[in-house]
Structure 1
Amino acid sequence: MKKFHGRTLGLAFATLFAGSALASPIITFTDGVSYTTDSLTGFTTNGSQMHGMSITTCFITGACEEIIWDGTVGMASYGEARSSNWLLSVNGDTFGNPFTFETLNGDTAITSISINGRPGNTVFDVILDPVLSPGSARGNPFTLFGSNPDLANYTVNVNYTDRLAIGGVFYGDLYTVMNIDFGGQGFTGSFRFITDTDNNDFAGGSPIVPVDPNPVPLPGTLFLFVAGLAGLGLRRKLRK
C-alpha cells in the first residue's frame, strides 16, 4: 500500500472530509507530449521535494502569470508557489495531505491553474489500485478535500496530460502536467485538493518523439518522390 500506514490513514481522513464537497470535478486524461525514463526516483513526495515546478495561473482579464514552486521556505516537508495574487501550497506527503489554493487579491479572479511537474522532477500518480508503473505505488487522482464552499457555483475541470512511460512503456498512471479550470468563470476564494505525486529525474530521461501517421513530405523528399514516379513512367514507355 502506498506510503505505508501513515498514507493509508491520511487517505481515510481525505475520504471522510471529501464527502461534504460541493463540487464534483470532471477529470480527463490526454497523452500530450510523452516522456520516458528508466525508473522513478521515489514515490513518497512532499512539498519540499517538488522544488522547481512551474505553476501558471490565468486571470479573467486574459493575462497569465508563472511562478516557480519553492521547496526551501524553511519547513522540512512544506512547499509553495506564491504571488501577490494567489498562493498554492502543501505540507507533507501528497498522498494524504491536501494542496491549498487561495486568491490573495479579491479583485483578481483566476480562470485556470496549470502545474507542470517536470522542472521540479515531479510526476502525478493518478491510479489508486492496482499499482501499475514499476517503482511506483498507490496513487490518488484529483479529489476535493473538505467542504470547499467557495467552489459551490463553479464547474471544476481537471485534465492530466504529458504522460510518463517507464522504460518506454506507458502503464496508464503517470502524467507530468495537471491543468485545472473553472469552466470559463473567474474564481476567487480558496479550496483544498488531493493529488498524489512521485519523483523522477527528468535530466536522465528523454522525450519520446510523436510519430505523425500522415507526414507531409519535405520539399527535397517530395522532389525525389515525383522524380521516381516520372522514372517509372518513362520505363514503362520504353518497354512498350
Structure 2
Amino acid sequence: MKTFTFLTLPVAAYLSMAGLSQAATISIETDKIGAASTSGISGYTTSGADMDGMQITGIFEKGAKRKATFLANGAKSGVADGGWFSLSLDGTSSFSSPFVVAVSQGRLQSLQIDGVPGDTIFDIIGASVGTSGSAYGRGFTTNDKTPGEVSVLFSRPISLTDTAHAGDLYGAMTVDFSGLGGLAAGRSFSFIQDTDNTAISGDFTPAVAPVPLPAGFFLCLTALSAVGMLRRKANRTSPQA
C-alpha cells in the first residue's frame, strides 16, 4: 500500500533555504513493501565510493530494461554503467553531492535503485529525530528546471533491530521521469538524496510477515464449537443412572 508522506512541504522548504530553484514538481511517496532491520548505522557521511553493490535498473520506453551495479571508481566516487544510462556520485557526502543520471540511448522513464546489496540506506527526513545513528537526513531535491513532475517512491523501510520504523530510512527508491516526458538520449538529470551505511556489511534481516491462517479455518472453528455445544446439551438432558 502506498501512502503519501508529509515530506512534500519540507522538501520545498529545504529547496528554498538551500537556494535551489526548480521548475519540476517533486512528488514523494513511501511504501511498506520489503521491510527489514539492521543492527546499526556506521555513520551518516557516505561518499560515492561507499555504495559498492547497489543494484540499479533503468526502465525505458516499451518496458526495455538495463541493469547495472554501482561500483567505486575513485577515492570518493562511484558509478553504475548500464550501457544506455549511467548513475554516478562524485563527492565526500551524498548529503551535499548530487547523484547524476546520464542517458546515452533510448528514453529513460524511471530508475530503480536498490541500496540494500550495497549496504546503503536512504535517509529521507531532514531532522535530527529518527533512527539512532542516522543523524540529520535530507530528502530528494533537484535543481532541474524542466517543467513537469518527478515522482519518487521509497520502499523497503529499514529499522534498527527490535525497534519500530522511525519513518526516515528506506533501502530502495524509484525515480519516475515519465512526468517530464522521460529523459532522452543526451540528457542528464542530477538530484541530491542523503544516504547512510549499515555498520556491518550485509546486516539486513527481513521483517517476518504474519503467517496467514489456512482457508476455512474460521468455518472449521465454528463447526467444532457447535459440536461442543451439542455434546454439552446432550450430557445435561441424558437420564442419570
TM-score by length of 2: 0.80
- Paired residues in the alignment total 217
Which residue of structure 2 aligns with residue 117 of structure 1?
A: 115
Structure 2 unmatched ranges of 5 or more:
1-13
After superposition, the C-alpha distances for 1:143-165 in whole angstroms (9 at most, x for unaligned) are: 003xx24xx24321001111111
Relative to structure 2, which stretch is displaced further, 131-140 or 225-234?
Answer: 225-234
Separation in 1, partners of 2:15, 2:47 = 18
Offset at residue 186 of structure 1 (A): 3.0
Separation in 1, partners of 2:95, 2:129 = 14
1:187 counterpart letter in structure 2? L
Separation in 1, partners of 2:68, 2:51 = 13
Which residue of structure 1 aligns with residue 62 of structure 2?
A: 61
Offset at residue 61 of structure 1 (A): 1.5
Which residue of structure 1 aligns with residue 41 of structure 2?
A: 40
Separation in 1, partners of 2:96, 2:148 = 24
Separation in 1, partners of 2:110, 2:82 = 15
Separation in 2, partners of 1:195, 1:142 = 5
Which residue of structure 2 aligns with residue 99 of structure 1?
A: 99
1:80 counterpart letter in structure 2? V
Q: 1:99 to 1:13 in 2, by over 3 A?
A: farther
TM-score by length of 1: 0.81
For the 8 Å contact 1:47–1:91, the answer to whether it is kept is: yes
Q: 1:128 to 1:144 in 2, by over 3 A?
A: same
Structure 1 unmatched ranges of 5 or more:
1-10
Offset at residue 229 of structure 1 (A): 3.6
Structure showing greater radius of gyration is 2
Q: 1:177 aligns with which of 166, 172, 176?
A: 172
Separation in 2, partners of 1:68, 1:158 = 20
Separation in 2, partners of 1:144, 1:186 = 16
Separation in 1, partners of 2:207, 2:81 = 32
Separation in 2, partners of 1:210, 1:172 = 19
Identity of aligned residues (%): 32
Offset at residue 207 of structure 1 (A): 1.2
Higher share of residues assigned strand? 2
For the 8 Å contact 2:150–2:176, the answer to whether it is kept is: yes
Q: 1:12 to 1:229 in 2, by over 3 A?
A: closer
For the 8 Å contact 1:52–1:119, the answer to whether it is kept is: yes
Which residue of structure 1 aligns with residue 214 of structure 2?
A: 217
2:43 counterpart letter in structure 1? G
Offset at residue 121 of structure 1 (A): 0.1
Matched ranges for 1:139-158 at <5 A: 139-145=137-143, 148-149=144-145, 152-158=146-152
Relative to structure 2, which stretch is displaced further, 89-98 or 62-71?
Answer: 62-71
DSSP-derived class of the 1:232 partner: helix
Which residue of structure 2 aligns with residue 5 of structure 1?
A: none
DSSP-derived class of the 1:41 partner: strand
For the 8 Å contact 1:37–1:202, the answer to whether it is kept is: no
Matched ranges for 1:19-30 at <5 A: 19=21, 21-30=22-31
After superposition, the C-alpha distances for 1:98-157 in whole angstroms (9 at most, x for unaligned) are: 11111012xx01111111100000000111113321111111111003xx24xx243210
Offset at residue 195 of structure 1 (A): 0.1
Separation in 1, partners of 2:117, 2:94 = 18
Q: 1:233 to 1:158 in 2, by over 3 A?
A: same
Offset at residue 79 of structure 1 (A): 0.4
